[in-house]
Amino acid sequence: MAASNAVWGIDIGHCALKALRCKLSDDGKTLVAEAFDYIEYPKILTQPDAEPEQLVKEALQKFLDNNNVRDAKVGISVSGQSGLARFINLPPVDAKKIPDIVKFEAKQQIPFPLEDVIWDYQALGTPSPDDGIATDVEVGLFAMKRDQVFRALRPFRDAGIELDTVQLTPIAIYNAVTYGVIDGLSQADYDPDNPPDSIVVISMGTDTTDLVVTNGFKIWQRSIPIGGSHFTKQLMKEMKLTFAKAEHLKRHARDAEDPKAVFQAMRPVFNDMVQELQRSIGFFRSIDRSANITKGVILGNTVRLPGLQPYLEKNLEIPMKKIAEYQHLEGSSVVATPKYKDNVLSFAVSYGLCLQGLGKGRLSTNLIPRELITARIIRQKKPWAVAALALLMLGFAFNYITHWNRWRESSLTRFESEKVKLSSITNTSNTFKSNDDADKAKFDQLKDWGKAVVGGADSRFMVLELIKTINAGLPGQQGLDAGTVSELPYDKRPDLFITSVEMQYFTDVSDYANENVTGRYQQFREWLAANEKLTSAPATTTSDPATETDTAAEPDAETEADADAEPAAAEAGESSVEIPTVSGPGWVVQLKGFHCYDGGGINNRANYLINTVLKYLDSGEVTLPVAPGGALETFTTKEMGIVMPILANDGTDATVSVPDPDYVPDKNSDAAATTSAWGTGVSQVGFKQIPGYEFTIQFIWKENTVSDRLEKRNAAATDDSATAEDA
């Protein structure tokens, strides 16, 4: 049984395992994403030499190694092709008899004996009761063969994961779209005679494409047996490639030697898919002539195939959009991470499962076998039953022993002297314990008073010390008097211009230091080592490792970055960079700004930041007073609590506005207007636009007062002295 109100939505696809953990916020409407995982299989499950069961087992084990599911509900999805969905309009009937009518309809609609299937139903829209008679009732009937359900459950049962929800993929997509995409009406505002506009949802998977048409209340769905792997197989056939090479070529079609030939080879699959979609949408319009489809949504990583979105819009004559975010879904530790953003198109099913588990899905049918629910309830009650029985037996035993002792010894007068001695010892012990407790309480009180007196003064200066530390690490032109304007051109001025400083508090900074952050820190350290090595080497033609890596990682302007792309630096092999371990409360400080400096070689753009401010934040020193008006002490940035500085993005070459040194203001100049133009790239009087490099730097700062720093130094010095004496 889940110990919290969190829900895991797990979608096992043919290409990857997608999982999202959400809980309901206090407003009762917004979902807060607490964690997510995207585990791509080494091979696609339908690949000829793949072992699907083993690949899924390994992915689930990796997921369990990284996440805890025992304190949350778990919902999973099954393919729409594996199930059956029927939508039935019931005749006017007594509302109490609807379950019996639905069971009768299930026998007619499901082409298997009901004992061989698992099925569930739910009324769509709002029935209109008239004197106890329900009219205009439309029921969604969903079923799946029992053996297929248990086949889908097997990997989770083998992994020890208890499930609460089993839902068809199209229904999970429907829940996600109606809650996270459509600004729909409430059930009370729905008018069957004037329904809202419909939306078509195309979710492209590896082997199938799920088509869902809905107006927010009613749903029609169909699974089309064409997916991303069909493009791969078409490339294998036309270009005589292996499956792995064809898959790679499909994902990097625009980078191929002859992109036109690649798209020409895939054209038959494009045509087949459009024909199936046109046929399905046309059939839907024929059965619901009042429906008005005004727009479409495309989901799944397959839709990132270049040119697919405009091709669908042109042939279906429906405007399409890709999902970039979901309404009512928050949680910056998840939705703001690059890995989630890169794969947001594939998390619709997981989001829909979370909605159903939290009671926010419009459809809440569940295909989990009822016998599993019953067995779980019995299993959960067994410990209580055993404990109750054990307690009952213990009571009987205690009662028996008590009576037996009374029978055996009718008098206890012979123990009176021993009782007196024991009482005396007990009193003495209690006296000593009371005195000790009083001394400990007094000591703790004095210690708290000392901390309150000393710590309060130190805490006032922590932020000032942090700002002083940051300013000390910003490079600038040496020998320039205050108030003097530099005569150097901007691309020769070693200045960094900070446009904003932001801080965010984390109760546990390990939530921030995820794989992306540690990877960027490792990348910074490797680039710094490479730059220092090149600087110390004899003067030769050098390359810019950060620039090369940035260029290699930049996507085509017309395409999106490939979700499977790995940093170029990873190809160099194992890294010797030691990643610091961080935990506990702390702050993440973010510096945004730009610079125009071009030192040539390895001292421009991102490398200039690496060689200066990032290096300083990682291993620099700053001199600060240890008390107001007191002596100065030099502290390292690590002693100041600064850990893991990174370039939080890959930087951007941009046009920035800087003061024009040749500009002479007149008496009517608006100083406030010109000051506001710093770095904006907006042309203003007194400013000029020049090329610059915009950056975002982040680092972890753990609060550390000067008293704590000095205390740690003294403790370290004492330990060193003791070690030297022992030697």
Q: What confidence category does residue 61 fall into, taking pLDDT thresholds of 50, 70 and 90?
A: very high
Burial of 442 (0-12, 13-18, 19+ CB in 10 A): exposed
Same domain? 660 vs 688? yes
Would residue 459 count as lying in a domain?
no
Which of 31-35, 123-127, 420-424, 548-552 holds the top average pLDDT?
Answer: 31-35
Q: Count the Cβ atoms, other than its own, within 10 Å of residue 216.
A: 23
Arithmetic mean of pLDDT, 6-14: 93
Q: Count the Cβ atoms, other than its own, within 10 Å of residue 578.
A: 8
How does pLDDT run across 655-699, given as a tens digit for each residue?
888 888 777 776 555 555 555 556 665 667 778 888 999 999 999
1-5, 200-204, 374-378, range with the lowest pLDDT: 1-5
Q: Is the pLDDT of residue 296 over 50?
A: yes
Would residue 563 count as lying in a domain?
no
The pLDDT value given to residue 538: 63
Would residue 240 count as lying in a domain?
yes
Q: What confidence category does residue 80 fall into, taking pLDDT thresholds of 50, 70 and 90?
A: confident
Domain holding 414, by residue range, is: 384-441
Q: What confidence category does residue 541 fall into, taking pLDDT thresholds of 50, 70 and 90?
A: very low
Q: Is the pLDDT of residue 515 over 70?
A: yes
Q: Is the dihedral of CA 611, 613, 618, 622 positive or negative?
A: positive
Same domain? 107 vs 69? yes
Same domain? 339 vs 265? no
The pLDDT value given to residue 338: 93
DSSP summary character for residue 565? -
Burial of 198 (0-12, 13-18, 19+ CB in 10 A): buried
Q: Is the pLDDT of residue 312 over 60?
A: yes
In this prediction the pTM is: 0.54
Quote the CA–CA distance of 101 and 568 in Å, as a whole number.
62
Same domain? 57 vs 22? yes
> Which one has a higher pLDDT value, 618 or 396?
618
Q: Is the pLDDT of residue 453 over 50?
A: yes
Q: Is the pLDDT of residue 554 over 50?
A: no
Same domain? 23 vs 147? yes
Same domain? 177 vs 221? no
Same domain? 134 vs 260? no
> How many domains in the chain?
4
Same domain? 343 vs 317? no
Which of 253-267, 449-463, 473-487, 553-567 holds the top average pLDDT?
Answer: 253-267
Arithmetic mean of pLDDT, 420-442: 91
Arithmetic mean of pLDDT, 152-170: 92
Q: What confidence category does residue 547 fall into, taking pLDDT thresholds of 50, 70 and 90?
A: very low
Domain final residue, candidates 342, 368, 394 = 368
Q: Is the pLDDT of residue 105 over 60?
A: yes
The pLDDT value given to residue 17: 94
Token pair for residue 266?
A: 């895939």
Q: Is the pLDDT of residue 720 over 80?
A: no
Arithmetic mean of pLDDT, 506-520: 94
Arithmetic mean of pLDDT, 478-486: 72
Q: What is the CATH number of the domain that holds 294?
A: 3.30.420.40
The pLDDT value given to residue 558: 37
Quote the CA–CA distance of 221 and 209 in Å, as a whole number.
11
Contact 293, 199 (CB under 8 A): yes
The pLDDT value given to residue 433: 93
Long-range contacts of the stretch 379-384 (C-beta < 8 A, 24+) = 380/1
Q: In percent, how much of the chain has pLDDT > 70? A: 87
Would residue 451 count as lying in a domain?
no
Same domain? 360 vs 284? no
> Which one has a higher pLDDT value, 121 or 562?
121
Q: What is the CATH number of the domain that holds 3?
A: 3.30.420.380
67-76, 268-277, 482-491, 524-533, range with the lowest pLDDT: 482-491
The pLDDT value given to residue 354: 95
Same domain? 534 vs 663? yes
Same domain? 119 vs 250? no
HEC profile for 334-395? Answer: HHCCHHHHHCHHHCHHHHHHHHHHCCCCCCCCCCCCHHHHHHHHHHHHHHHHHHHHHHHHHH
Would residue 29 count as lying in a domain?
yes
Q: What confidence category does residue 1 fall into, taking pLDDT thresholds of 50, 70 and 90?
A: very low
Would residue 379 count as lying in a domain?
no
The pLDDT value given to residue 548: 45
Same domain? 170 vs 283? no
Would residue 541 count as lying in a domain?
yes
Q: What confidence category does residue 129 fall into, taking pLDDT thresholds of 50, 70 and 90?
A: low
Q: Is the pLDDT of residue 325 over 50?
A: yes
206-215, 384-393, 402-411, range with the lowest pLDDT: 402-411
Contact 285, 330 (CB under 8 A): no
Quote the CA–CA distance of 560 and 540 in Å, as a whole number.
37
Token pair for residue 527?
A: 């680039």
The pLDDT value given to residue 3: 56
Would residue 719 count as lying in a domain?
no
> Which one has a higher pLDDT value, 72 or 458?
72
Q: Count the Cβ atoms, other than its own, within 10 Å of residue 214.
A: 24
In the sheet with 7-12, reading across from the earlier edge strand, the strands are 165-168, 73-78, 7-12, 16-24, 31-40, 329-330
Quote the CA–CA distance of 398 and 406 in Å, as a whole number.
12
Q: In percent, how much of the chain has pLDDT > 90? A: 37
Arithmetic mean of pLDDT, 59-88: 90
Which of 192-201, 261-270, 382-391, 692-701 holds the top average pLDDT?
Answer: 692-701
The pLDDT value given to residue 188: 63
The pLDDT value given to residue 283: 92
Q: Is the pLDDT of residue 553 over 50?
A: no
Q: Is the pLDDT of residue 724 over 80?
A: no
159-168, 569-578, 583-592, 628-637, range with the lowest pLDDT: 569-578
Arithmetic mean of pLDDT, 687-712: 90
The pLDDT value given to residue 82: 84
Q: Is the pLDDT of residue 563 over 70?
A: no
The pLDDT value given to residue 36: 95
